[in-house]
């Protein structure tokens, strides 16, 4: 696996999202952007950050046990290493977006779901055994990225293997700083790995089935 993320261009489009908790739905327009073809691997993370917090060791396995704070710090470090402008201003626990920066960032919740579905209305873009590592086939751990079938945009592991941090707050009025993560992981059942599933936790949360992939503005 390369030490740089392979980025794919995601075309512009629209998506209708929903939240089953509060029974709401909303429309989102997606501008064209780039998204990592693979989850961030342990090799890429270690090369960039010099440490590896993962519970399941393997250079081509996704990095996990990373908090949302870890993920945005990685985005800045990778941007700096590759000569891009840092997207995030980090100061005393506060994270602000530098709007015109051209570096790496986390996808938004809407971008993630739009990219996962890749034009499909189905909640899984193929047979679960062919597209995802989940409870039924993962052998109780993460697996190397890119071994299952990609979706129509060419993205691997959008469902299963590890959940993926997104940029967005979930519901600031109810949950405060909690951030969204998507996609399902190696320990989830079939029904846990759906394009529509939205989970949330504190940005300091770390667990062995939660990682991320990177995005960039075009």
What total number of domains does the chain contain? 1
> Among 90-99, 139-148, 166-175, whose mean pLDDT is lowest?
90-99
- What was the pLDDT predicted at 24? 87
| Residue 11 within any structural domain of the chain | yes
Q: 162 is in which domain, residue-wise?
A: 7-217
Q: How many C-beta atoms surround the C-beta of residue 155 within 10 A?
A: 20
Sign of CA dihedral 116, 121, 124, 125: negative
pLDDT in tens, 78-87: 999 999 999 9
- Rounded to the nearest integer, the mean pLDDT of the chain is 95
| Residue 1 within any structural domain of the chain | no
| Residue 67 within any structural domain of the chain | yes
> Among 20-34, 48-62, 96-110, 193-207, whose mean pLDDT is lowest?
20-34
- What was the pLDDT predicted at 94? 85
- Residue pair 61/53 in contact by the 8 Å Cβ criterion: no
What is the spatial distance between Cα 150 and Cα 20, in angstroms, rounded to a whole number?
A: 27
- What was the pLDDT predicted at 31? 97
Only one residue has tokens 């961030």, namely 40
| Residue 210: burial class (beta carbons within 10 Å; 0-12, 13-18, 19+) | buried
- What was the pLDDT predicted at 92? 73
* pLDDT > 70 fraction of the chain, expressed in percent and rounded: 99
Q: Residues 196-216: what's their mean pLDDT?
A: 97
| Residue 2 within any structural domain of the chain | no
pLDDT in tens, 179-202: 999 999 999 999 999 999 999 999
User: Residue 97 sits in a domain of what CATH number?
Assistant: 3.90.1580.10
- What was the pLDDT predicted at 1? 43
Check residues 20 and 59 and name the one with the higher pLDDT. Answer: 59
- Residue pair 24/42 in contact by the 8 Å Cβ criterion: no
- What was the pLDDT predicted at 68? 97
| Residue 41 within any structural domain of the chain | yes
- What was the pLDDT predicted at 51? 95
């Amino acid at each position: 696996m390369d030490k740089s993320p392979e980025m794919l261009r995601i075309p512009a489009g629209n998506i209708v999202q929903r939240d089953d908790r509060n029974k709401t739905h909303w429309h989102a327009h997606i501008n064209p952007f780039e998204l990592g073809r693979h989850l961030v691997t342990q090799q890429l993370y270690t090369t960039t950050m010099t440490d590896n917090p993962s519970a399941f060791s393997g250079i081509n396995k996704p990095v996990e046990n990373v908090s949302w704070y870890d993920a945005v710090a990685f985005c800045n470090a990778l941007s700096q290493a590759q000569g891009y402008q840092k997207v995030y201003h980090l100061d005393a626990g506060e994270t602000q977006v530098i709007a015109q920066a051209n570096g790496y960032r986390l996808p938004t919740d809407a971008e993630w779901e739009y990219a996962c579905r890749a034009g499909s209305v189905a909640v899984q873009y193929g047979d679960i055994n062919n597209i995802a590592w989940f409870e039924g086939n993962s052998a109780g751990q993460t697996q190397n990225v890119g071994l299952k079938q990609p979706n129509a945009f060419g993205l691997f592991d959008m469902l299963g293997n590890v959940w993926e941090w997104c940029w967005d707050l979930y519901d600031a009025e109810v949950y405060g700083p909690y951030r969204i993560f998507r996609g399902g992981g190696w320990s989830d059942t079939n029904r846990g790995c759906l394009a529509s599933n939205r989970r949330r936790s504190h940005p300091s949360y770390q667990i062995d089935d939660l990682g991320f992939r990177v995005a960039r503005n075009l």
